[in-house]
Chains A and B, each alone.
Chain A
Amino acid sequence: MTTDTLVDNRSKRQVARATQKSEKMAQKRLTSKGATIAAIIIAVIWTIPTFGLFVTSFRPGSDTQSSGWWTVFVNPSFTLDNYSQALNSGGTALTLGQSFINSLGITIPATVFPLVIASLAAYAFAWIDFKFKNIVFVGVFALQIVPIQMALVPLLSLFSKGLTVNGVGIFPGFELRDAEHSFATVWIAHAIFALPLAIFMLHNFISEIPGEVIEAARVDGAGHGQIFFRIVLPLATPAIASFAIFQFLWVWNDLLVATIFAPSTSLPLTQTLNSLSGTWGNQWFLQSAGAFISIIVPLVVFFSLQRFFVRGLLAGATKG
C-alpha cells in the first residue's frame, strides 16, 4: 500500500518534471537562436526604409543633400521646416496641403458608399432565396478578375460623353470640369471597384448570423427592411468596421483611379506627391516630408484599428 502510493507519488513528480522540461524545451525551440536572429533581421530590414524616411524628413535640407540619414547618429541636427515648406509648395493647381483636404473629401464618401450598397446586396445574397443565387454570387466574386485598368477608359467616356442608345441620349455625361473640387466621378469609380470584394466579405459575415435571430424578428412582424437596419447592421458592425478600414486605406493610397478620374484641382495627395517628386528632383527633404505627410494618416488608422483590419483580412481571405 505505502510503496504503491510512494511509487505513484514519485511517478507523478517525474511526470511533472518531464512536462516542465519539455515545456522549457518547447519554449527554447520556439525562440531558438537561429530563429530569433532571422526574425530580428527580417524585422530590421522591413523597418529600416520607413525609419530612414522618417529621419530624413526632420533633417535640414542641406544635410540631406550631402550625407546619408544614418550620419544623424553621429552629428544630430533636426528641423520642422521641411513639413511647413512641403505643405505649402505645390504644382500648378494646388498645394500639398490642399490635396490633403482633397484626399479626405475623396476617401470618406468613397468608403461609405460601397459599404452600404454592398451590405444591402450581401444581405439579399444571404437571407433571400432566389433562383441561380449561388451562380450569381460566384459571378460577383469573379468580377474581381477585371483589372481596374480595363474598366478605366469605358467608364471615363461614360462619365464624360454619356450614354446614347440608338441615337437617343439617355445620359449626357457630367460637366464638372469647371467645378472647383468635384469628386463625384472618383467616388462612383471607387464605389464600383470596391463592390465585388465588399459584397463577398460582408456576405461571409452576414450569412453566419444565426437564422433563429432573423426568424424571431420576422415572427415579431419585422420585414426585411427592419431586419436589415435594426438587426443585421448592428450585428455586422465588426465586419463593416474592418472593411471600412480596408477601403479607407485602399482609397487613400490609390493613385490610378484618381489619376484618371479626378479633375486637376481635385487631385488627392498621392497624385500631387507623385508629380511633385518629379519637380522636387533632388530636394529630398521635401520629398521625405511630403511622403511622410501622406503616410501618416493611413499609419494612424492602421495602428489604432489594427485589430479590425486583421480580422477583416482573415475574413476576406481564409474563408474564401
Chain B
Amino acid sequence: MSDTRTKTPPVSAVPPEPHESPRRQPSARTTKLVVAGAAVVLAVVFVLLITSPPNDEAKPVSLGFSLNSLFRWMGNLNPLAQIPIIIVIFGLVIALILVLIEYAPRAGNFYFWLRLAACFVIPVLALMLLRPYQNALIWVLVIALVVGALLFFADYRSRQGAGYLFQLVTFMAPAALLLALGLIYPTVATIYQSFFDKTTTEFVGLENYFWVFTNPEGFWSVVNTLIWVLVAPVFSTMIGLAYAVFIDKARGEKYLKSLVFMPMAISFVGAGIIWKFIYDNRQGEQVGLLNAIVTAFGGQPVSWLDAQPLINTLLLLVVFIWTQTGFAMVILSAAIKGVPTEQMEAAELDGTNAWQRFRNVTVPGIRSSLIVVLTTIAIGSLKVYDIVAVMTGGRANTTVLGFEMVNQQQRFQSYGHSAALAVVLFLFVLPLIIYNANQMRKQREIR
C-alpha cells in the first residue's frame, strides 16, 4: 500500500470524483482502435478454434505453478507454518485488488490502458492458475477474452464514467464468485439431484420424496425436526428472557450473565460429552447425575438416550436449549435495557404490579428482538447436526433431517435420498428466512 501513498500527489490534480467530473473522453481514434483490436483478437481466436482440431498430445501450457501445486506444496508443511504463508499470499492478492480499485477510475490515458490490460489479463491468469491446460488452452483464452472484453466494454460505456463498474466488480468479485460456487450452484445441483436415483444417473421423479415420508428413518427425521423447531426456540427464549429479567440491574449481573452464556462457546461435540456424563446409565453405582438422582430417590436407573417415545429426543433438545439460552438471554437483556424507563415509571405510578408491567411494557418494547431471537434459534435448530451425531448417532428414532442427510450420504452413499432430505429441510427454513428478509427490508425502507 506504500505504493499507493507515494503515487497519490501527482494524480491529485485530476478531479477525484470520476462520476461527477466531466469525464475525459479518450479520443475517437483510440476507441476505434480498441474496438478494432478486440474484434481482430476475437476473430483470430475463432478461426483458430475451428481450424485446429483438439490434439491430445499437445504440450501442456501452464504458468509453471497452479493453485493445486501451491496447495500441495503447502500441504506438506507443518500446519503452524501454513498459517502465515497462506495469509501473506492472501494479503498480497487483496493488496493487488485494492491497488487496482484505487487506480482504475482515474481519467487519463495510462489508466485507460491499465483497465484494459486488467480486464484481459486477470481472467486469463485466473483460469491458468486453476490448471495446466493442454488442448483446452484455446478455450480458456476465448472464455477469458470474452469475459474481459464484455467487462471492459460495459465499464467503458458505463453512465457513471469509465472505471466505475470496474471498481464495483473488483470489490464484489471475490465474494460473488465464492457465493455462486459454494452456495448458489450447490443448491441448484442438490434440487436437481433430489429427482434422481442413488448415483444420479436415472430420473426417478418424486420417489425420493416418497421415501422421506414413508421410510422410518426419513419419517422420524421429519417428525423430530418439527419437534426441534417447535420446542427449542420457545424454551430457550422463555428461559433466557426470564433470566434476563431476574438479573436485570442485580449486583454482579455481568458474571451471572457469563455463567449462562458460557455454553455458547462450547462446541456441540464438547457439549455432547458433557451431557453424556449427565445421562449416563450403568449397573451398580451411578456415575451419571440424572440416574444418581433417580436412584437416590429409590428409583430404577433409566437408559435415558434409548428411552422412547420422544423422551430421548427431548433430552437431546435439553442440550441444545442449554447452548442457546445464553444467546437469547444476551440479546433480550440488551433489548430490556433499551425499554424507556419513563414507560416503566408511568406504569408503576398507575399501580401495576411487576407481572403486569412485564406483560404490558417490557414485552411490547422488546417485541422485535424477541422475533429475531425466536427465528434465529429456529433456523439453528432446523440445521442441527452435531448434537445428534455425537450423542446418539441417530439411534432409537432420534434422527433429524440435518443429521439423516449426512448419514444417508456418508454411510449409504445414497445421494438421491440425501438430496431429497436436504430439499425438505430447505423448504422448512424457507418461510423463516423470507419472514426475516421481509422484516429487514421494512427496516431498511424506514431508514
Contact = CB atoms under 8 A, between A and B. Distances in A.
Main secondary structure of the interface of B (DSSP, over half): helix
B78 A224 contact: no
B262 interface: yes
Interface in B215-256: 239, 242-243, 245-251, 256
A155 interface: yes
A189 B284 CA distance: 47
Interface stretch (A6-14, A28-36, A74-82, A234-242): A28-36
A302 B81 CA distance: 25
A120 to B, nearest CB: 5
A88 interface: no
Contacts, number: 394
Contact of B178 (A70, A169, A192, A254): A192
Contact of A224 (B171, B247, B423, B434): B171
Interface string B178-193: 1101111111011001
Contact of B260 (A46, A184, A256): A46
A205 interface: no
A216 B258 CA distance: 42
B274 A180 contact: no
A109 B270 contact: no
Contact of B256 (A43, A101, A254): A43
11 contacts: A35-B245, A66-B285, A68-B287, A70-B292, A168-B139, A171-B130, A171-B131, A188-B178, A195-B179, A298-B266, A298-B267
A145 B270 CA distance: 26
Nearest to A245: B265
A124 interface: yes
A302 B72 CA distance: 34
B356 interface: no
A253 B387 CA distance: 12
Given A68-B292, A199-B175, A318 B185 contact: no
B16 interface: yes
A30 B249 contact: yes
A99 B90 CA distance: 24
A225 B178 CA distance: 21
Contact of B372 (A113, A287, A320): A320
Contacts of A192: 178-179, 181-183
A101 B327 contact: no
Contact of B186 (A116, A151, A294, A310): A151
Contact of A182 (B75, B87, B406): B75
A221 interface: yes
Interface in A197-213: 199
B248 A314 contact: no
A102 B81 CA distance: 11
B41 interface: no
Interface stretch (B30-38, B114-122, B303-311, B439-447): B439-447
A128 B164 CA distance: 9
B259 to A, nearest CB: 5
A145 B429 contact: yes
B127 to A, nearest CB: 7
B187 A224 contact: no
B111 to A, nearest CB: 11
Nearest to A217: B16
B78 A181 contact: yes
B201 to A, nearest CB: 14
Interface string A39-83: 100110011111011001000000011111110000000000000
B167 interface: yes
Contacts of B79: 101-102, 104-105, 181, 183, 266
Interface centre among B78, B274, B430 (most CB of A within 10 A): B274
B174 interface: yes
A56 B373 CA distance: 34
Contacts of A153: 186, 189-190, 193, 409, 415, 418-419
Given A179-B71, A228-B98, A294 B168 contact: no
Contacts of B423: 150
Contacts of B274: 49-50, 52-53, 291
Interface residues on A, range: 35 or more
A187 B331 contact: no
Nearest to A299: B265
B386 A255 contact: yes
Interface in B387-437: 389-390, 402, 405-406, 409-410, 415, 418-419, 422-423, 425-426, 429-430, 433-434, 436-437
Interface string B259-285: 111111111111011111110000011
A90 interface: no
B43 interface: no
Interface string A254-269: 1110011000001000
Contacts of A140: 179
A155 B289 CA distance: 42
Interface of B: 1, 4, 8, 11-12, 16-17, 67-68, 71-72, 74-80, 82-83, 86-87, 90, 94, 97-106, 127, 130-131, 136, 139-140, 143, 167-168, 171-172, 174-176, 178-179, 181-187, 189-190, 193, 239, 242-243, 245-251, 256, 258-270, 272-278, 284-289, 292, 322, 325-327, 330-331, 334-335, 348, 354, 368-369, 372-373, 376, 379, 382-383, 385-386, 389-390, 402, 405-406, 409-410, 415, 418-419, 422-423, 425-426, 429-430, 433-434, 436-437, 439-441, 443-444
Which 3 A-B pairs give the minimum distances between C-beta atoms?
A179-B75, A225-B102, A192-B182
A149 B418 CA distance: 9
Nearest to B390: A274
A153 B406 CA distance: 9
B175 A253 contact: no
Contacts of B102: 222-226
Nearest to A294: B270
A256 B186 contact: no
A169 B183 contact: no
Given A113-B90, A116-B94, A218 B16 contact: yes
A221 B11 contact: yes
Interface in A93-143: 101-102, 104-105, 108-109, 112-113, 116-118, 120-121, 123-124, 128, 130, 134, 138, 140-143
Contacts of A266: 79
A27 B436 CA distance: 37
Contact of A50 (B187, B263, B267): B263
A291 B72 CA distance: 31
B199 to A, nearest CB: 12
A224 B444 CA distance: 24
A147 B383 contact: yes
A150 B425 contact: yes
B436 A320 contact: yes
B110 to A, nearest CB: 14
A108 B67 CA distance: 20
